[in-house]
Amino acid sequence: MSEENVVYIGNKPVMNYVLAVVTQMNGGTTEVVLKARGRAISRAVDVAEIVRNRFIPDVGVGDIQISTEEIVGNEGTATNVSAIEIQICKE
């Protein structure tokens, strides 16, 4: 899968990411992966649910993976943060 099909979820409003996914899907992409870390995880779930329920009904949520990533801060201290990957695919 090319990197173009990945939507990274950050701190922008939810609808920005929904629009990104819908645009990709309407452009012919059949699979998009949402990636998020930390507190953006709940926003990633919101994006998947809004796309599915309001915009593209024939889209399904595929595999969901969770993991832990290590982030090294400016002072060299490492902290662990949870991450999620949500696969969205046209059925």
- Which parts of this chain interact with its own copies (CB under 8 A)? 38-42, 45-46, 48-49, 53, 61, 64-68, 80, 82-84, 86
User: Which residue number, 32 or 40, has a Cβ lying nearer to its own copies?
Assistant: 40
User: Which residue number, 2 or 72, has a Cβ lying nearer to its own copies?
Assistant: 72
User: Which residue number, 4 or 16, has a Cβ lying nearer to its own copies?
Assistant: 16
Strands 6-9, 31-37: pairing is parallel
CA distances to 1, 72, 80 from 60, rounded to whole Å, are 18, 35, 30
What's the min distance (Å) between Cβ of 21 and its own copies?
14
C-alpha 14/C-alpha 12 separation (Å) is 6
**Amino acid identity at 45:** V
C-alpha 1/C-alpha 47 separation (Å) is 20
What's the min distance (Å) between Cβ of 23 and its own copies?
21
